[in-house]
Structure 1
């Protein structure tokens, strides 16, 4: 949790309210994993890991002898039902999305591959999260150049560090950050480097013990390029940008948008 937690989750609540089905969803096979994740995060992990921010409140109705437990967010002052939990998996996903800063995809094994069965994703970069629901990993990553070379290792390890450059300061970016086959490529477009951001994801993989689903969660951070330069890392980042042209997936230069902003960004970072 960061010092800007309240601002981040408040913004996420607004995104979920505005975009709704575009940023969270589940197919039937994902309902059980969603329930398991909801129970674990709100009922066990968050109150134990961050007791000054979250707590569990249990009460008993003496008339009916019914006991209920709510998860209380002491930062946002929002209570979420825990026992009994919400009946609707979409409601669980909404509450999770408004409580934690990470975006989350749940995947279940389907034969030798894994399929996305549920998600809450407020900060996509160059893709529509809802379009990935129900798809296998190979289908999800179909636009990624040379995915056939890295796909098998992703199936085995589910871990990959992602970074990118974007020409704006928005976390919600379902399109524009990547160049797809149908896009018109405007090479070396006019770029405002002051608005550009270094975008990085902190990724975590967790297997849920009951359903066996894999939780792929990631928190997205944006850094102004001026901050990168101030730390003396400008030349290193410029080298990494130009490195998109090389390696075993040279198509990344176009896919990541380097063809549009690469020269301007590298010039700025090395100046």
Structure 2
């Protein structure tokens, strides 16, 4: 039986899920190392609507209704931070609804609340319609190092820097960064690892990669909410067929150069490892025209 969210996803315009070229992270350094890669975002660019947001927001609302606590949950005491967020959005809460839940139904982005008041940032709430292989129930209440356990090298290379970055944010400064992954799953709501490498062994050529693989780009922003010791972490997810990079030679070249230097553990985490050769062949084709 097809759900309302599935029906709405099938009707989404392709442009609603297309990544802006500016969203893509810079190519990875060689030798490879993890970097936070954050930069300052002008306030006017924060949660900036795009032309095809309306059908995407309608899909989000249906998905949140259907998935319940798998897509929205928040710890007690997070209501004031949610109210601050609604004020920034110029909106009012609906009676009986957590203000973060209301906010998550008004925008195209996933919204996560990170409490920094105790010195160790931890996830305390999220409206999460497009998770990339992570379960909200497993992460809620966890510190950053606990949330990022599956990320190769996070504890050694990034944990201290990320915690310092989050606790050093100031209200007047909004930051942005990006992330990406490869998947062979066309679902937008991917909360578990069962969506990883379902076609392993069957996608071996560039043409097969173009037919069966997708690229997900997360455009993320981080903003300290005024007066509540909470950082708002937003995630705008683009989800496109890998073939959609055919008209973006610079993006394809940058992604190829990152994959070329990335160690196997990171390639596996990104969903690339089973398809590495096929993905590189396709990206090089796009790069070279």
TM-score, normalisation: structure 1? 0.73
Partner residue in 2 for 1:268: 282
1:10 corresponds in structure 2 to 58
Output the CA distance in 2 between the equivalents of 1:228 and 1:217: 24
Q: Take 2:198 and 2:237, find their aligned partners in 1: how far apart are those partners?
A: 26
**Counterpart check, 1:165 vs 2:179:** no
Residue deviations 1:105-158 (CA, integer Å, cap 9, x gap):
111125331111111010100111232111111111111111111011111224
Secondary structure at the counterpart of residue 112 of structure 2:
strand
Q: What is the match of residue 242 of structure 1?
A: 260
SS state of the match for residue 77, structure 2? Answer: helix
Alpha-carbon shift at residue 22 of structure 1 (Å): 0.6
Larger Rg: 1
After superposition, the Cα gap between the structure-2 partners of 1:36 and 1:151, relative to the gap in structure 1 and judged at 3 Å, is same
In structure 1, the residue corresponding to 2:68 is in which secondary structure?
helix
Does the alignment pair 1:19 with 2:35? no
Does structure 2 retain, via aligned residues, the 8 Å contact 1:24–1:130?
A: no
Q: How does 1:227-238 map to 2 (within 5 A)?
A: 227-233=244-250, 234-238=252-256
Shift of 1:213: 0.6
Cα distance in 1 for partners of 2:136, 2:236 equals: 15
Tell whether the 8 Å contact from 1:126 to 1:175 is kept in structure 2 after alignment: yes
Please identify which structure carries the higher helix content. 2
Q: Determine the C-alpha separation between the residues in 2 that align with 1:124 and 1:8.
A: 15
2:158 equivalent to 1:150: yes
Report the Cα distance in structure 1 between the residues aligned to 2:149 and 2:96, rounded to whole angstroms. Answer: 31
Q: Distance in 2 between matches of 1:177 and 1:228?
A: 26
Give 1:263 deviation, angstroms: 1.6
Equivalent in the alignment of 2:81: 33
In structure 2, the partner of 1:198 is: 215
Q: State the Cα distance separating 1:4 from its structure 2 match.
A: 1.0
Task: Give the length in aligned residue pairs.
Answer: 222
2:100 is matched with which residue: 84, 90, 93? 93
TM-score by length of 2: 0.69
Offset of residue 23 of structure 1: 0.7
8 Å contact kept, 2:86–2:103: yes
| Contact map agreement 1:167 1:193 (CA 8 A) in 2 | no
Q: Contact 2:185 / 2:195 at 8 angstroms: preserved in 1? A: no
Contact 2:177 2:219 in 1 (8 A): no
Structure 1's unaligned 5+ residue stretches are: 44-81
CA distance in 2, matches of 1:126, 1:239: 24
CA distance in 2, matches of 1:38, 1:254: 38
* More strand per residue: 1
CA contact (8 A) 2:225 2:232 kept: yes
Return the alpha-carbon distance in structure 2 between the equivalents of residues 168 and 195 of structure 1: 8
Higher relative contact order (CA 8 A, sep 6+): 2
Instruction: For 1:129 and 1:199, locate their aligned partners in 2 and report how far apart those are by CA, in whole Å.
Output: 19
Q: Secondary structure at the match of 1:204?
A: strand
Q: Secondary structure at the residue paired with 2:238? A: strand
